[in-house]
């Protein structure tokens, strides 16, 4: 079957069907999905349960898999593939963790608007998140379209931010929430990187490149730069730019980190929530600064 797409939002995001993600993807399938991602930036696949191996195989069809965040955490988890990231409130013993567990702070940090791996080079291209267990309520994921956000900027703001760069750091969001248990080796594992506030997506559209990993703007005082970053983030996450996904077991959501931000939403931490993430590297970001 051919890829079929049903828009989920006036600006971006579509439900995808017609391709079985549990089976190896053909070259034609990959091209069709890439084209759909360039247009919609977020694709939602419903009712396709995937094993860890099947998810990794699918993700590898789109490039080299990123494992830097898993190395940074430095702790064993439940998945055997280095590139499989455990987005859950479940410990290595298979039990729901308590609020004092180190992993909880990381999970809560995911509720801040961010782009995966904007704090490293190469940065991330696609992320694929698969739902294994969902809580009774809450735990949705929201996405915002950074292309539409840039398009909606007034001329004065576009001129103001043209040529500006911000620094992104992996632990900025964690420390913001009081998570300070990282040792010196972990702090140095992924040094800060800089990106333009306005990036051009390979498909041609400009992107307003903000998110919680951005620490400050080069050439501005910390207060001035952070206030500008906050203003731009507030603009980018207005309701008209946001799609909210309500998870069901067997869902896979695939998004373009070069064009979107995302965040998880609150849920009862005592309820089990298990999702698996795989992320591909963006080779263009190695030379693009």
CA dihedral 84, 129, 287, 168 (to 10 degrees): -90
Burial 200-209 (b: 16+ CB within 10 A, else e): ebeeebbbbb
Q: What is the pLDDT of residue 251?
A: 98
Confidence of residue 1 (pLDDT cuts 50, 70, 90): confident
Q: Give the SS3 label for residue 147.
A: helix
- DSSP class of residue 201? -
pLDDT tens readout for residues 53-102: 999 999 999 999 997 765 656 667 789 898 999 999 999 999 999 988 87
Beta bridge partners of 87: 275
Look at residue 29 and tell me whether its pLDDT is greater than 70. yes
Domain 4-284, CATH: 3.60.130.10
Order the strands of the 193-196 sheet from edge to edge. Answer: 193-196, 165-168, 214-217
- The better pLDDT of the pair 172, 122 is held by 122
CB-based contacts of 104, cutoff 8 Å, min separation 6 = 89, 97, 98, 269
Instruction: Please give the backbone phi and psi of residue 148, each rounded to the nearest 5 degrees, phi first.
Output: -65, -35
Residue extents of the structural domains in the chain:
4-284
CB-based contacts of 220, cutoff 8 Å, min separation 6 = 164, 228
pLDDT tens readout for residues 116-159: 999 999 999 999 999 999 999 999 999 999 999 999 999 999 99
What does the DSSP assignment read for 212-245? TTEEEETTS-HHHHHHHHHHHHHHHTSGGGEEEE
Helical H segments across the chain, by residue range: 27-40, 52-60, 68-73, 102-109, 146-151, 155-161, 172-176, 184-189, 222-236
């Amino acid at each position: 079957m051919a890829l079929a797409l049903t828009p989920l939002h006036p600006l971006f995001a579509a439900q995808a069907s017609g391709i079985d993600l549990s089976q190896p993807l053909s070259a034609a399938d990959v091209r069709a999905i890439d084209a759909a991602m360039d247009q919609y930036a977020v694709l939602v696949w419903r009712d396709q349960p995937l094993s860890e191996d099947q998810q990794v195989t699918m993700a590898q069809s789109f490039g080299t898999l990123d494992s830097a965040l898993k190395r940074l955490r430095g702790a064993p988890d439940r998945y055997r593939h280095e590139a499989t990231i455990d987005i859950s409130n479940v410990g290595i013993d298979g039990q729901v963790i308590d609020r004092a567990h180190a992993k909880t702070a990381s999970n809560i940090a995911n509720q801040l608007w961010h782009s995966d791996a904007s704090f490293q080079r190469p940065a991330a291209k696609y992320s694929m998140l698969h739902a294994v267990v969902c809580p009774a309520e809450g735990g949705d994921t929201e996405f915002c379209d950074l292309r539409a956000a840039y398009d909606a900027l007034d001329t004065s703001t576009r001129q103001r931010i043209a040529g500006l760069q911000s620094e992104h750091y992996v632990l900025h969001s964690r420390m913001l929430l009081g998570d300070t248990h990282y040792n010196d080796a972990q702090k140095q594992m992924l040094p800060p990187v800089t990106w333009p506030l306005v990036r051009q997506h390979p498909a041609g559209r400009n992107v307003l490149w903000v998110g919680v990993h951005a620490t400050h703007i080069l050439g501005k005082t910390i207060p001035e730069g952070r206030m500008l970053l906050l203003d731009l983030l507030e603009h980018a996450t207005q309701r008209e730019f946001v799609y909210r996904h309500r998870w069901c077991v067997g869902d896979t959501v695939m998004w373009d980190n070069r064009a979107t931000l995302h965040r998880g939403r609150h849920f009862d931490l005592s309820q089990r929530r298990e999702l698996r993430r795989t992320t591909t590297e963006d080779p263009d970001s190695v030379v693009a600064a």
